Amino acid sequence: MRDGSGTAQVVLVKSEVDPDVWERFGGLTQESCIRLTGTVREDKRSPGGFEIAASNIEIAGSSPQDYPIQPKEHGVDFLLDHRHLWLRSSRQRAIAKVRHEIEQAIRDFFYERDFTLVDTPILTAAIGERSGLFATEYFDEGTAYLAQTGQLYGEAAAAAFGRIYCFGPTFRAEKSKTRRHLSEFWMIEPEVAFNDSEDNMRLQEEFVSYIVARAVERRRPELEELERDVSKLERVKAPFPRIDYGDAVKTLQAKGSNIVWGDDLGAEDESLLVADYDTPIFVCNYPKEAKAFYMKENPADPRTVLCNDCLAPEGYGEIIGGSQREDDYDKLLARIHEEKLPVEAYGWYLDLRKYGTFVHSGFGLGLERTVSWVCGLPHVRESIAFPRMMNRLRP
Ligand code: 4AD
Ligand code: MG
């Protein structure tokens, strides 16, 4: 019997129950919903060390014999088509519990540090990232896009409240069918006034260590259910190594990658790079052309920007993208032109640099990639209850 909090073995003894109870018990089918009365007793042989000796069973919701998910191997497409039922499995419960713990840890982390939660809009007019957009007609106001990021609004809020974060669904119309991409995913985006890129990385390593430690501390049974090697997670402690982009390219070339200076790191490059480490690592200061328009030019090497990606170990790849923001009005305007973005949509964003500009930094952590890594899942699709991918809009 399963009640959401866990499962228990239920035992009926024919001689101890009414014949009609015995008959109802015999007629139970997989996934019948029951109301059960009984006595809990200790029994070393039962899973969990306890079982329930039932005295009565009532059927609250019967279930026909053709329950689609049977105790045998099903293909993942079949399971995803039946995601509304698949969620009932113990593995899916374990993943949901770990995700829930991580979300709570995220909120606690920022609450304890006096960040203000600011909910940013999902319907937007300004484009935040380079990846694909979902567009819809918005009354007489033209095209609205589903937010790829809350960051630009987060920056306005940081100017008002100092340290803030937003945490909500974000959307990317990317035609990528990889094990890391969803078209709808949840992102946590803190933004901090007066933090530079170094402060930003310190916040990230403290944050990632905190949420991983919390999952290990409070969700060990679930991680064991998922057969996760928890000792690997226990090694995740700040500080994380910092690798300059230029050095990363040289290391990758030496390892046989055909990356050249200027390219963003591909998934294979990320795996090659993290293979030498057992904690997450930072790759810092990418070339301008590989990153978004809002990142601050690196004074030490203007071909690059003050930014970092945080790559998770065990081949999980980029879980965070972060940067110091361009706070110079003219430089930011020039980047908007260079990227051929519609300047009129960024008037308000430029205002943040016009009226009392300030050094500030922030980052975005992808929740599903983080949950996948912590749970040791082979694909992000199981890390969210109802995944949205290129070929999946139902259930
Ligand atoms: O690197 P990204 O695109 O950064 C931003 O959106 C910034 N505006 C964040 C900021 O500075 N406030 O995305 C951040 C993270 C990635 O590292 C990844 O974990 C996740 O979001 N992510 C995705 N997760 C699942 N599916 C996708 N299609 C994702 N795209 C990004
Ligand atoms: Mg990124």
Q: Is the CB of 151 under 6 A from ligand 1?
A: yes
> Would the pLDDT of 54 be above 90?
yes
Question: Does 63 share its domain with 104?
Answer: no
Question: Does 100 share its domain with 31?
Answer: no
Distance 128 CA to ligand 1 centre (A): 11
**Strand order across the beta sheet in which 9-11 lies:** 9-11, 50-61, 33-42
Q: How many CB atoms lie within 10 A of CB 65?
A: 6
Distance 264 CA to ligand 2 centre (A): 9
286 inside domain: yes
- Full 3-state SS string of 67-114: CCCCCCCCCHHHHHHCHHHHCCCHHHHHHHHHHHHHHHHHHHHHHHCC
Q: What is the CATH number of the domain that holds 41?
A: 2.40.50.140
pLDDT of residue 376: 98
129 inside domain: yes
Q: Which atom of ligand 1 is nearest to the CA of 320?
A: 17
Is 117 strand, coil or helix? strand
Q: Work out the end-to-end distance of the chain between its first and last CA atoms, rounded to an integer number of angstroms.
A: 26
Q: Is the CB of 192 under 6 A from ligand 1?
A: no
Whether the CB-CB separation of 278 and 235 falls below 8 Å is answered with: yes
Which of 52, 67, 82 corresponds to the end of one domain? 67
- Per the structure, the count of domains in the chain is 2
- 395/392 Cα distance (integer angstroms): 8
pLDDT of residue 122: 97
The mean pLDDT of 148-177, rounded to a whole number, is 96
Whether the CB-CB separation of 343 and 337 falls below 8 Å is answered with: yes
- 128/153 Cα distance (integer angstroms): 10
Q: Would you call the peptide bond into 239 cis, given omega within 30 degrees of 0 as the criterion?
A: yes
The mean pLDDT of 18-28, rounded to a whole number, is 94
255 inside domain: yes
pLDDT of residue 5: 87
Distances (CA, A) of 252 to 72, 283, 304: 42, 12, 19
The mean pLDDT of 137-143, rounded to a whole number, is 95
pLDDT of residue 46: 86
Q: What percent of the chain has pLDDT over 70?
A: 100
1 inside domain: no
pLDDT of residue 383: 98
Task: Identify the nearest ligand to the CA of 320 by its number.
Answer: 1
Question: Does 46 share its domain with 99?
Answer: no
> CB neighbours of 138 closer than 8 A, spacing ≥ 6?
123, 125, 144
Q: What is the pLDDT of residues 172-197, one digit of tens each?
A: 998 888 999 999 999 999 999 999 99
pLDDT class of 73 with cuts at 50, 70, 90: very high
Question: Does 50 share its domain with 156?
Answer: no
- 253/271 Cα distance (integer angstroms): 13
Q: Would you call the peptide bond into 342 cis, given omega within 30 degrees of 0 as the criterion?
A: no
The whole-model pTM stands at: 0.97
Nearest to 365 by CA among 97, 149, 113: 149
- 208/371 Cα distance (integer angstroms): 11
Task: Share the mean pLDDT of the chain.
Answer: 96
Q: Is the CB of 322 under 6 A from ligand 1?
A: yes
Q: What is the pLDDT of residues 239-274, one digit of tens each?
A: 999 999 999 999 999 999 999 999 999 999 999 999
Q: Is the CB of 362 under 6 A from ligand 1?
A: yes
> Would the pLDDT of 128 be above 80?
no
pLDDT of residue 286: 98
- 378/14 Cα distance (integer angstroms): 45
Tokens at residue 176, please?
């990528």
Range of the domain at 294: 90-383
Q: What is the pLDDT of residues 213-237, one digit of tens each?
A: 999 999 999 999 999 999 999 999 9
The more confident residue out of 368 and 47 is: 368
pLDDT class of 201 with cuts at 50, 70, 90: very high
- 395/388 Cα distance (integer angstroms): 9
CA-proximal residue: ligand 1, atom 31 (nearest): 366
Q: What is the CATH number of the domain that holds 195?
A: 3.30.930.10
The mean pLDDT of 9-31, rounded to a whole number, is 94
pLDDT of residue 176: 84
- 149/172 Cα distance (integer angstroms): 9
Question: Does 108 share its domain with 60?
Answer: no
pLDDT class of 347 with cuts at 50, 70, 90: very high
Q: What is the pLDDT of residues 376-392, one digit of tens each?
A: 999 999 999 999 999 99
pLDDT of residue 137: 96
pLDDT of residue 83: 98
Residue carrying structure tokens 């609004």: 153
pLDDT class of 131 with cuts at 50, 70, 90: confident
Q: Which atom of ligand 1 is nearest to the CA of 370?
A: 19
